[in-house]
Every structure is written in C-alpha cells, then in structure tokens.
Amino acid sequence: MSLWRKIRKTGRVAEPAPERPTGEAPPEAAELRGSVQFRHVDAGSCNGCEVEIGSAFGPVHDAERYGARLVASPRHADALLVTGPVTRNMEVPLRRTYEAVPQPRLVIAVGDCARDCGVFAGAYGVAGAVSDVVPVDAEVPGCPPEPEAIVAALRRLTGR
Amino acid sequence: MNDSMYAQWLALACGAFLLAGVLVLWRRDLAAIVRLFALQGVALGAMVVVLGLRQGSVHLVAVAVGVGALRAGLLPYLMRRALDTPPPGNGTAGEEARETRPLVNVATSLLAAAVLALVAYAVSQPIVRLSPGPATQAVPVALTVLLVGFFVLVTRRRALSQVVGFLLIDNAITATAFLTTSGVPLVVELGVSLDVLLAVLVLQVLTTRMRAAFGGTDLGELRELHD
Amino acid sequence: MNVPGTLLTVALGLCLATALLAPAVPARIRPALSGLGTAAAGAVGAAAGGAAMAGHAWSAWLPDLLPLAGVRLALDPLGGLFVAVTGGVAVCAGVYGIGYARHGLSGRVVQATLPLFVASMLLVPAAASVSTLLVAWELMAITSLLLVLAEHGRRTAVGGAGLWYAVMTHLGLIAILAGLAGLAAGAHGEAFDQLRAAHLPPLARDAVFLATFAGFASKAGVVPLHAWLPRAHPEAPSHVSALMSAAMVNMGVYGIARVGLDLLRGSSEGGAPAWWWLLVLAAGGVSAMYGILQAAVSADLKRLLGYSTTENMGLVLMGLGAAGFFATRGAPRLAALALVAALLHVVNHAAFKTLLFQAAGSVLYATGTRDLDVLGGLRARMPYTTALFAIGALAASALPPGNGFVSEWLLLQSLVHAIPASGVAGAVALPLAVGVVALSAGLAVATFVKAFGVGFLARPRSPEADRAVESPPSMLGGMGLAALCCAALALGPTVIVPGLARAVGTLLPGAAPATGPVSGPVSGPAMETVTLHLSGIAGTMSPLLIAAAVVAAIILLAGAVRMLAARGRRVARLWDCGVGPMSARMQYTATSFAEPLQRVFDDVLRPETDVDVTPKQESAYLVERIRFHALVPDRIERRLYGPVLAAVDAVGRRARALANGSVHRYLAYGFWTLTGLLILLAVIP
Amino acid sequence: MSGDLMSGLIATVLQVVLVIAGAPLLVGLMRQVRARMEGRAGAGVPQPWRDLRKLLRKEPTEPRDTGWPFRLAPLVLAGTALVVAAVVPLVSTASPLDSAADLFAVTALLALGSVALALGGLDTGTAFGGMGASREVTVLALVEPTILVSVFALSVRAGSTNLGAIVNVTEADPMRVLSPASLLAAVALAVVTIAETGRIPVDNPSTHLELTMIHEAMVLEYSGPDLALIEWASAARLTVLLGLLGSLFLPWGVATAGTGALAVLIGVAAFAVKTAALGVLLAVGEVFMAKLRLFRIPELLAGSFLLALLAVAASFFLAGGA
C-alpha cells in the first residue's frame, strides 16, 4: 500500500520529450524504423559514461520511449554503444562483439575517450579509439557526455 | 436466503477460512502470518453470520460479530504488539520478524497440508453422514484447519507462529461447533474465548521473558534449559 | 489347430531351430543367423498375438511334454496382446543384434540363448496352467540371466548385477510359486480354468494375491522391489536390455492382471477387496515418482533408461490399480477405460523403450561409454541415431505428437472422471494419483531433454565422443522399425484400441461393450475416425489432427518467415562474450543440468557431495586442485536392502561356526537330527 | 450443421488472427503500464510490433556446431503457440478443432514448445544456453502437477476436460465462478500462467543479468527472424493463457455454438477487453513484486499445487463448492 501511495504521489517523472534532433542519420538506420536495440560495450571506460548512459535510460530521460532498448546479447542488438578508449585487452573482444551483431549493424562511440582516446591517448595500455577497431557510425562528444546528448544520438538512429 | 444462495455463501466463507489457514504455512513473514490469521477471523465471523441469517437468529448474528471482533480484531492486535516490541539489546529484528528456518521446509509443509486436507476429508465422512447438509459438509474444512494448526505448532520455531498455530486450532474448533450444532450457547463461547485470551496473554508474557533471557524466541533454545 | 495356435507353434519352432543351429555355424555368420531367426520368430509370434487379439481364441493340452501335469497353452486376447508386444520387440532386437554382436558378442552361448529367451517370453502369456507358467517363467529367468552375464569378462560390474538379478528373480519366483500353489491347492487343479472356478476363503485369497503381486511386481521393477533393474538393464548387451526392458518387465504386469482380475475371479464373488487395487495404485504411484526422479538425476544413459522403465511400469500399474478399484466400485466403464490406458501404455512403452535402449546401445557401440557427462556432439557424427533417439525421447516424455502422450491422456481421463463413482477412498486417492502422473510426466520431460540435449547435441565433451561414427545398417534398421512402431502408435492409436478393448473384455467381462470403451471408427464425418471418443464420459482428443496441425503451423510459419526475411543466414562464431574460445568443457553437463531438480528434491534423494580443495604449498588461498564428487545413491535400496543383506551376512557368518571341518561333528549333526525326528514322530499323534 | 461449422470456422480464424496481431500489442500495453507506474513515458503500445518488423528484416545468424534442433526450435515454439491459439475457446466455443484437443493436450503442446526451445538452447553448447534450458525444464516439471490438478478441479463441474464444454457450463451458470473450487483453481492457474510465461516473480522478461535468467538465457544466440518468432511466440503464449483464464473464469461474451455473427463480434470484443484487463492487472502486480530466488520458486509452485488440490477437494467438501 505504501508503494501504491508513493507511485500516486510521484506521478510522472519523465521530462517532456525535446524536439526531434536534426542531423542526418546513418543510412543503415533507415531499415530499423523506430526500434533499435543496443548492446553496451565498455572498452576501457572510467565508468563516467556508464553513469550517464544509465541516466539516459532512467526514468527522467527515458530513452526507451523513442524505441531504444538495452539488450543482453549482441545477437539481439542493432547497434553497439561503445564507451572508453579501446584497451589492448578489449580490442579483440570489441571486434568479436561487432562481428556477432547481425546485419545491418551500427556503432556509436560515446564520450571523448571513445572518439579519440581523450586523456588516455598514447597510453601504453590503449590500442586506439573505437574507430581504429570497428567502423563508427555516430559519435557523442563529452567527458562524460550529458544524458540529453546521448538520448539525441539514440533518437537519430531510431528516427523518433 | 434461498437454498443455493445459502450453500454458496457458506462455501465461500469456508473456502476463505481454509485458504487463510493453509496460507499460514506459506508465508515466512510473521506480520503476514498475523494478517492471515485476522483474515481467517473475518471468514469465521462471516461463516457464523451466514448461519445466523439462514436460521433468522439475531442472537447468532450477534455472536458472530463478537467472534469476529475477537478473532479478527483483538487477538491480531495483541500479536502485532508483541511483534512490534523491539527486542532488547542491539536488534536482530530482521531475524525476529521472520520464520526463517522452520523444522520442515515450506514446500514440504505445503504438500503436507495438501495431504492433511485429504485425510481430514476422509476421517470426517462419518460425521457428515449423520446429518448431510451444507453446514455439516463443511466440517472437513474445519478439521483441515485444525490439523494444519497442529502442524504449525509442531514445525515452526518462533513463539509467535506457535501462538498462531494454537489459535488456528481454536478457530477450527469454534468453526466445527457452529457448523455441526449451528451455534453453541453464548456463555460457552465466551468462556472458551476468554480461555484463549488468557493463553495468548500467557504466551505473550512468556515471549517477552524469553526475549529478555535469550534475546530471541526460537523455541528450540528452550532445550538448553533441560541440558 | 487354428491360426494363432499354428503361428505360435511356428514361432516357437523357429526359436528352437535357431538356438540349435547357432552354435553349429561359424562365428562370422552366427549373429546374422541368430538375429534373423529371432526376428522371424518375433514376426510370426506377433502375428499369432495379433490373431488372438482379433478374437481367435486357442488352447491346447500336451500331456506328454512335461511329467505329471503336461503343458497347457492357451491364447486369449489378453495373452495375445503380450505375445504380440514381445514378438514386435523381438523383431527389432533381432535385426539390431546382427550388427551389435560384432562387438565380441558372437559367442555360442549368447547367440543360442537369445532365441530361447524370446521363446520363453512368448510362452509365459500363453501358459494356461500353473506348472506351465512357472516353467516358462523360470526359463525366462535363466536365459535372461545368461544374457545379462554376456559381457562379464569385460566389466566387473556385470557380475554384481548378475548376482542381484539372479537372487531377486528367484525370490520373485518363490513368491509366485507359493501364491499360485496356494491357489491351485484351493482349486484342486492347476489348469487356469479350474483356478477361475475356485472359491477360496478371504484370508487365503488375500495371501495368494499378495504373494503373486510381490513376485510379479519384482519382475516389473516396481519400487521397492526394483533394485535389480537399474543394475541389470545397463549391464546387459543393449538389444538384450531392450528385450528385458520392453518385453520382459511386461510379464510382471501380465501376471498381476491375470491373477488379480482373472484367476481370482471365482474366489472374489461379489467383488475383490478394494484395498488390493489401492495397494497396486499406490505401488504404481511410488514407482512412477521414484523411478523418474532417479532417472532425472542419473548421468548414466542406460541406467536412466532403466529407471524410466520403473516409472513407466509404475504408470501402467496405476492404470491397472485404478481399473481394479473402479471395478470393485461398480464402475465398469471407467474400469475398462483405465485398463485400456494401462495396456496401451504397455504397448507404447515397449515401442519407445526398444528404440531408446537400442539407440543408447549404438552410442555405447560408437563411443564405448554410457556416461552422459562425457558425450555430446553426436548430432553431427551419428545423425540417424540422433534423429531416432529424438523420436523415442519425444514419446517417452509424453508430449504430443509422441505415442506416450496418448496413453497418459487416457490414464488421466480415467482418473479425472472417477470422483463421483469412487467414494471416500477414491476422493482421497485420485487427486493424488493425478498429481503423481502429472509430476512424473513433467520430470520425464526434464529427463529426456537432458538425455537428448546433453547426450547428442552441442559439441563432444571427450575424445571418445569426438571419434564416434554412425552405426551399421542392421542396427539402424532395428531402430528404424521401432521408430516406425512409435510413429504408427502415435498417429493411429484408434486402430489398435479395439483389440485392446477385446483384451479388456477378457478381464472385465460385462464391462466392455463389443466396440470397447474407446470406440474408434464411428460413423460420421471423416474427422471423427481419427478422434478418440470416450463413451460414457465426454472427452475427445485426436493425436493425428494435433500432429497435422502442428506440422501445418510450422510449415506456414517457415514459409511466412522466408517470404518476409530480407537477408540470408550467416554462420557465425559462437557468442562467447568476446573472449573465447569456449572449450567443450564449459558446456552444461548432465549432472549440472539435473542440479536444480536434485536440489528441489533434496529431501527425497539425499545426494552425497564431496568437495575436496587442495591448496598450493605457498599459500592456503591459492588453489591447486578442486575435486568435486557427487553421488545420488538409491536410498530405498540402501535403507531397505542394506539391513537385510547385513542380516543375511551375519546369519551366514554364524552358520559357518557350525561347520568347523570336523567329520565327527558333521556325523553328529546327522545323528541328532535323526533322533530328534524320531522323537517328534513319536510325540505327534 | 454446416452453418454451425461455418460460423465456428470463422470464429476460429478470427481468433487466430486476433492472437497473431494482438499478442505483441498486449506485451506493449503491459510494458506501457509498467513504464507509467515507474514514472516513465513508455515506448508506446505498438513498440513490440516495430521490434518484430525490424527483427524480421535482420540477418539470422547460426553459431558454428549447431544443427537442426537450433534451427527448428523457434518454429516449433511459434507453431505450437499458433495451434493452441486455434484450439482454445477465446472468441467462440464452437471451434471445429475443439474435439481434437482438450486442456491436457493444450498444456502438453505448450510444453512441447518449451522443450523445443530448451533443446535449441542446449544445442548451442554455451554455458548460458544449458543453464536456461535446465531451469526452464525444472520449472516446467514442477508446474505440471498444478496444471493437471487444476484441470481436474475444473472438469469435475463440467464432466469433461474439453475446453469448450467447461466454458459452456460456466457460461450457463455464471454464479459458479464464485465457488471456492473455481476461485482456488483460478488462483492456481494464474500462478501457472505466470510461471509458464516467465513473468515476475518466476522470471524477469526484461533482465540483462545472465545469471538470473531462465527464458532469456536460452535465446541469447538467436537473432533476426528466429528471434522475432521467439518473441512473438512468448507474447502469443501469454495472450492465449490470459485469454484462457478469462474464458474459464470470466466466460461472459464467449460465443457458443449456433449463435450468429453478432455473437462472434461480441466474443471478439469481450476477448480483447478481458485479455487486456488481465494483462494490465498482471503488469501492475509485477511492479509491486520482486523476482524470487530460483530455489524459492518450488515453494511458490508447491503452494499453487496445494491450491489446486484444495480446489479439487472443495468441489466435494462443500455443498456449494463445485
């Protein structure tokens, strides 16, 4: 009963949906038409981006309302959500994860580290940016990126 | 109240009575067990009300209200209070509020209850055959609750679940009395209820004392007194 | 001599001829001769049984064949059913045995005994007097024992299994002998016709029933008399396992039905006591539950199948017990329905268990192991065996469109509709019985998903499994025949049900109308001919239509998906979370698969697990090796037989003190005995 | 006779189409309800259909070392769901297939689908596939007694296990729904439905944590149209089972034999409303519950078995019980 009361009192916490983001979507996204499943790969991130991704899929930003969803297996996924500079240990796994995604597949590099290794550029354990390992279709800048930016990038893929 | 309505309402009340009884075995949370017991009190009251309405006896309805108030109101209230009293010392409240490790595990006790229900049905057939009617036919229900109460008494560790087991037996006896004779005299019922009240009070005092002495109400620990 | 008589004689003659010829021919062609002879005898026997089921009764008295009483044979529809089932199994086993015997089983004794074993099993249901039955029974026991011991030189476990089997089967024989002798004494004659007319006092009648029930139940592998079954069936050569598990255990069922419902008919005028049949029902229920539970946690493929036999015999006994019980309650239609369900399950079980044991034998033949934990990956290496095992597993797990489903459906129908007719005892027993049937069906699903999924699918877990190759054509042929029987029984049970109804008619006279309780082909639209209609109660089900509908739906969906799909299939690397490669040892094994069930039924199974951690020398926190050892013992065996064996052992040790080697003492024993006897004779008037 | 057959046939076809089209919508509705109660906006009711449309156009993959069990599993799962959707009386009791399958056959068909998927999971040879299969069949085995004993309880009243007969009897005497036997059986079957369809508290359909998965662990290797079939099939099984609960215990509006087109239309509407209502109820319940630990599930199932057995008992304990 107390939970019921809490639900009634809290009501809707999701913020009103902002304008649909502009900018062109990757050509593969056209086939997905409003439903994109993401498999998240942490290629060596400091977990800052993970917190923001969590918040993007949380109730306030609610990325799920645009047809995006996180899934447990790359076989179920349409796109990879890669964070962090690609460390040497994660280079092969990232490539294999990409291979495991059925066609058509997309990759989003989330955060500055994923785009260009950020502050870790040239570090001995880093193999390179995400685009050095797998083809990247969209990027979200920021360290860490704001949830709004992540949601906007997801929306460009779902087209909603 | 026509025949089929009477039979159906009585069956419903008996069904709720039975369900509340066997669900006591399912729940581990002592607060939930007390709630189930209160629900059973309501069902018992409703059963007597149906019987009273059938016989057109205002007296029986009044008794029903009394029974309901005692079983669904006062006794659960007392048990809630016993439950809410914080244990002395730094609390093992989580341990205390749950029937964590019954002597017979929950799944097995549920299956045992199923068998008990069938046994109760089989052994009460002679009684039913004496005067078949919707009320007597429900005697197996009361008998099942009695056996389940006994089972709770035997297999549960917490003093409070034991109290509930004892009260289940009492509820079952009351139900049998009403179902077979369609009502015991008010005085007898009052006397029995007072006895029960007394027993609950004694057990509550005992529980409090046990807590003070052992810091818990696991009756298994009483064995230490023997050693 | 009429049709069934001639055919049965031909079948027995074929068996005998094969047994005599087999030792004489060279070892190279001996398996072929023996196998083909057995198969031919089986086919003729099956025809004899079929003719008897079709209503051609036959009986014969050969006074000179055995001293004192002579041999009495008769075939009625009930006996015919069991003869037919035995014959069918023998056909499959004979064909299969040709290839299987190449693995060092072409010896004279084994190849000559096989047809004799089949002959004895054809004789048991055809026996029409106590002495004939007992002789055939003993012949069956001895030949099967010889066959169980066939591989005793190769594995040490065979000897122990043989000893268990020998002791238990003879104790069973003694029980049957005692029971039937008691009945014969009361009837002043030992022919079955005389027994039927006998009037025994109630106490003697109960004793006869209990003794014969114990004896026959031990043959059927019913708990707690099952201890020999999970030992002997795995250790016997696989086609012998098939014969034992699919045909021999049925003889126990036959015996219980024959004695309880037929021979004791005269003694139980006015109805047999209901507790007999409740006892049978309870024994069946306990066997079904316990058997399938042990099968579910077993990792030995053939032991699993052996325990599954116990389960299925349990289900059959539940049907039999329910039938007897309903008959005592004056509900002949329900009784007939339950009996039809039981007999149909006998037939179904024979078909799928033959198939499964033979497929397990092929796996053993190809890999040398029966341990599911090291099998796997056989789908690619033995595609036909895999597909055939899948058919058997589908049937054994009682799912549509398998044939096991049909008989379990009938059994459930008979149990579900009986409440109003069966009084208090029924009201208590039947819901529990339904629960038991349901749980055993559910666990059977788990068991066979494990056996098939772990044993045959995915990747091999050992080099032996990796090297497996497909079996020779004769073995595939044997399995294929059994699979065909399964398919036919699954899709067209309405065809054999009238025959079963006739068999039921011999046991429950007056109960079954001429068309049977489950009238198959009735006039009406074409759809009706493939639907099982229960007369008296409203229940219908059509196995053929269900199978057709499922196949149609699958084809429809496959077509739709192909039409809508935009891209072709791609073979990809297994998803191993990107690290890989995943070794075959990372797969779930049979033990791990059964672990949740084992944990749920912890209180019943009491598994013994032992974790042994050896730390490195440098630090207690670094582990060098972890050994995990798990064993699920047969608890009933341990608790019940352990004390008995210990007591026998103690008595034996005490008895050894009597024999100390002194000749004088032995002579003294004789002297004292003689004197004692003389005194006893003098005292007794 | 032929007119009856005709209207029954039409009703059956309508029913199948309704389940095919409506099942994803039901899942969407349930997700939407959950989202709203969690304060989110939700993806909208048609979202599952968008997912399916996309999955159908994606590339199916097949891991190395897998074979026909892996390929066949989605088809069998979806095929059995389709057959069950045609057999059970959701819109009308006059289905021409009604005599082909009763409640026993329906549960066995659903079990066949689960078994196929479990074998598909085992065929991949991954640890998660085996784990999911093992748990799925364990739950399946323990659910079976509850189902069959509940069927027993329901059949006592109708004297038959055929679904059409049971629904007809209930529809003729709706007050029977309020009897203890019926209520207990309803609760028991509701628990079974939850366990069979892998909803909270038995399994969490939206979990991402492999170690707690039952159903999801078996399908980790499927992609594209195969996955679409599996997702559709689980939605269809949920729809059919909820619809069946509705027909058995709230039979109002189900068309019976010999009624006209209007009755069929009413049946369609009633089925849609009832199923949606039950789905919403289930979704709301899920918000308030946590997933049970795997080894607490047997307790839940033992409890439901007890309820089913009491339902049978109540049908002969109590005068007004049946």
Query: Where are the domains positioned within chain C?
Result: 1-270, 273-557, 598-633, 642-683
Q: What distance in Å separates residue D22's CA from the closest CA in chain C?
A: 17
Q: What distance in Å separates residue D37's CA from the closest CA in chain C?
A: 34
D208 interfaces chain C, CB cutoff of 8 Å? no
Q: What distance in Å separates residue C424's CA from the closest CA in chain B?
A: 6
pLDDT of the residue at B184: 59
* Cβ separation B8–D175 shorter than 8 A: yes
| C570-572 and C608-615 strand pairing | unpaired
Report whether D187 contacts B15 (CB < 8 A). no
Among B44, D205, D107, CA closest to C408: D107
Residue C172 tokens read as 């069973």
Confidence of residue C366 (pLDDT cuts 50, 70, 90): very high
In this prediction, residues C648-656 reach a mean pLDDT of: 88
How far apart, in whole angstroms, are the C-alpha atoms of residue D245 and residue D182? 11
Which among C567, C576, C580 is the nearest to A103, CB-wise?
C567
| A86-87 and A126-128 strand pairing | antiparallel
3-state secondary structure of A34: coil
- Each residue of B2-21: pLDDT tens digit? 777 888 888 889 889 999 99
Using the structure block, give the residue that is written with the tokens 């096991």: C404
Which among B108, B119, B125 is the nearest to C603, CB-wise?
B108
- Each residue of D128-153: pLDDT tens digit? 999 999 999 999 999 999 999 998 88
| C153/D282: higher pLDDT | D282
How far apart, in whole angstroms, are the C-alpha atoms of residue C502 and residue C517? 10
B105 interfaces chain C, CB cutoff of 8 Å? yes
Among D127, A115, D277, CA closest to C580: D127
How far apart, in whole angstroms, are the C-alpha atoms of residue C454 and residue C450? 5
How far apart, in whole angstroms, are the C-alpha atoms of residue D234 and residue D232? 6
How far apart, in whole angstroms, are the C-alpha atoms of residue B52 and residue B46? 10
Which chains neighbour B (Cβ–Cβ under 8 Å, 3 or more pairs)? C, D
* Cβ separation C565–D156 shorter than 8 A: no
Which residues 546-575 on chain C approach chain A with CB closer than 8 angstroms?
A: 567, 570, 572-573, 575
| Residue C628 β-bridge partners | C611
Judge D/A contact: 3 or more CB pairs < 8 A. yes
How far apart, in whole angstroms, are the C-alpha atoms of residue C386 and residue A126? 48
Return the domain boundaries, chain D: 2-317
Instruction: Name the residue type at position C484.
Output: L
3-state secondary structure of C308: helix
Confidence of residue D11 (pLDDT cuts 50, 70, 90): confident
A10 interfaces chain D, CB cutoff of 8 Å? yes
Which residues 48-107 on chain D approach chain C with CB closer than 8 angstroms?
A: 56-69, 72, 75-76, 78-80, 82-83, 86-87, 97, 99-102, 104-105
Segment B198-204 long-range contacts (CB within 8 Å, at least 24 positions apart) = B199/B166, B200/B75, B200/B78, B200/B79, B200/B163, B200/B167, B201/B78, B203/B159, B203/B162, B203/B163, B203/B166, B204/B78, B204/B79, B204/B82, B204/B163
D296 interfaces chain A, CB cutoff of 8 Å? no
How far apart, in whole angstroms, are the C-alpha atoms of residue C175 and residue C196? 20
| A127/D178: higher pLDDT | A127
Q: Please state the separation of Cα A68 from the chain's center in Å.
A: 10
Which positions in chain C touch D97 (Cβ < 8 Å)?
A: 545, 549
C535: DSSP letter: S
Which positions in chain D touch C556 (Cβ < 8 Å)?
A: 79, 82
Q: What distance in Å separates residue D40's CA from the closest CA in chain A?
A: 5
How far apart, in whole angstroms, are the C-alpha atoms of residue C552 and residue B213? 72
Domain count, chain B: 1
3-state secondary structure of C617: coil
Confidence of residue A27 (pLDDT cuts 50, 70, 90): confident
| Alpha-carbon Rg for chain C in angstroms | 27
Which among D301, D317, D320 is the nearest to B140, CB-wise?
D317
pLDDT at C48 over 80: yes
Which among A3, A13, A33 is the nearest to D50, CB-wise?
A33
Which among A75, A92, A102 is the nearest to C578, CB-wise?
A92
pLDDT of the residue at C425: 83
List C-alpha distances in Å: C253 to C246, C347, C516: 12, 12, 21
| B3/C404: higher pLDDT | C404
3-state secondary structure of C130: helix
* Cβ separation C572–A94 shorter than 8 A: no
Confidence of residue B178 (pLDDT cuts 50, 70, 90): confident
On the 0-12 / 13-18 / 19+ scale of CB atoms within 10 A, C560 is middle
| C633/B39: higher pLDDT | B39
The answer to whether residue B158 sits within a structural domain is: yes
* Cβ separation B118–C425 shorter than 8 A: no
Q: What distance in Å separates residue B8's CA from the closest CA in chain D?
A: 5
Which positions in chain D touch C553 (Cβ < 8 Å)?
A: 78-80, 82-83
pLDDT of the residue at C420: 66
pLDDT of the residue at B223: 64
pLDDT at C227 over 60: yes
* Cβ separation B12–D175 shorter than 8 A: no
- Domains of chain A, CATH where assigned: 33-158 (3.40.50.12280)
* Cβ separation A73–C570 shorter than 8 A: no
Judge B/A contact: 3 or more CB pairs < 8 A. no
pLDDT at C70 over 60: yes
Q: Chain-wide mean pLDDT for chain B?
A: 80
On the 0-12 / 13-18 / 19+ scale of CB atoms within 10 A, C17 is middle
Instruction: Catalogue the E-assigned strands of C528-658.
Output: 532-533, 540-541, 570-572, 608-615, 623-631
3-state secondary structure of D302: helix
Using the structure block, give the residue that is written with the tokens 């940016």: A129
Contacts of D118 (CB under 8 A, 6+ apart): C449, C453, D132, D133, D136, D137, D218
Question: Which domain range does residue B130 map to?
Answer: 3-87+98-226
Report whether D256 contacts D94 (CB < 8 A). yes
Which positions in chain D touch A102 (Cβ < 8 Å)?
A: 58-61, 223-224
Q: Which of A36-45, C578-587, D36-45 has the lowest mean pLDDT?
A: C578-587
* Cβ separation B137–D317 shorter than 8 A: yes
**Phi and psi (nearest 5°) for A87?**
-80, 165
List C-alpha distances in Å: C430 to C322, C422, C433, D319: 9, 9, 5, 20
Which positions in chain C touch B118 (Cβ < 8 Å)?
A: 427-428, 431-432
* Cβ separation B114–D306 shorter than 8 A: yes
- Each residue of D98-107: pLDDT tens digit? 777 788 899 9
3-state secondary structure of A128: strand
CA angle centred on B152, ends B147 and B156, rounded to 5°: 160
Q: What is the ipTM of this complex?
A: 0.91
B69: DSSP letter: I
Q: What distance in Å separates residue C578's CA from the closest CA in chain A?
A: 4
Which chains neighbour A (Cβ–Cβ under 8 Å, 3 or more pairs)? C, D
pLDDT of the residue at D295: 83
Interface residues from chain B to D (CB-CB < 8 Å): 4, 7-12, 14-16, 18-19, 22-23, 26, 106-108, 110-111, 113-114, 117-118, 121, 133-134, 137-138, 140-141
Among D107, D52, D102, D110, CA closest to D81: D110
With pLDDT > 70 as the criterion, what percentage of chain C qualifies? Answer: 94
Residue C210 tokens read as 């209990």
Q: Chain-wide mean pLDDT for chain D?
A: 88
pLDDT of the residue at C530: 58
pLDDT of the residue at C427: 83
pLDDT at C315 over 70: yes
pLDDT at C198 over 90: no
- Each residue of A85-131: pLDDT tens digit? 999 999 999 999 999 999 889 999 999 999 999 899 889 999 999 99
pLDDT at B107 over 80: yes
Report whether A72 contacts D208 (CB < 8 A). yes
How far apart, in whole angstroms, are the C-alpha atoms of residue C377 and residue B39? 57
Instruction: Name the residue type at position C600.
Output: V
pLDDT at A23 over 80: no
Which residue from C minimizes the CA distance to A97? C578
Interface residues from chain D to B (CB-CB < 8 Å): 175, 178-180, 183-184, 298-299, 301-303, 305-307, 309-310, 313-314, 316-321
Using the structure block, give the residue that is written with the tokens 């103690």: C650
3-state secondary structure of C61: strand
Among C290, C293, C260, C264, CA closest to C278: C260
Contacts of D68 (CB under 8 A, 6+ apart): C379
In this prediction, residues C493-506 reach a mean pLDDT of: 81
* Cβ separation B105–C428 shorter than 8 A: no
* DSSP element (H, E) containing A80: strand A79-83
* Cβ separation C573–A75 shorter than 8 A: no
Q: Supply the DSSP string of B170-181, one letter for each residue.
A: HHHHHHHHHHHH
3-state helix, strand, coil in chain A (%, to 5): 40, 20, 40
- Each residue of C119-169: pLDDT tens digit? 999 999 999 999 999 999 999 999 999 999 988 888 888 988 999 999 999
Among B209, B204, B225, B25, CA closest to B116: B25
List C-alpha distances in Å: A106 to A131, A154, C292, C326, C587: 12, 11, 49, 68, 31
Segment A59-62 long-range contacts (CB within 8 Å, at least 24 positions apart) = A59/A13, A59/A14, A59/D38, A59/D39, A59/D40, A60/A13, A60/A14, A60/A15, A60/A147, A61/A14, A61/A15, A61/A147, A61/A148, A61/A151, A62/A14, A62/D35, A62/D40, A62/D41, A62/D42
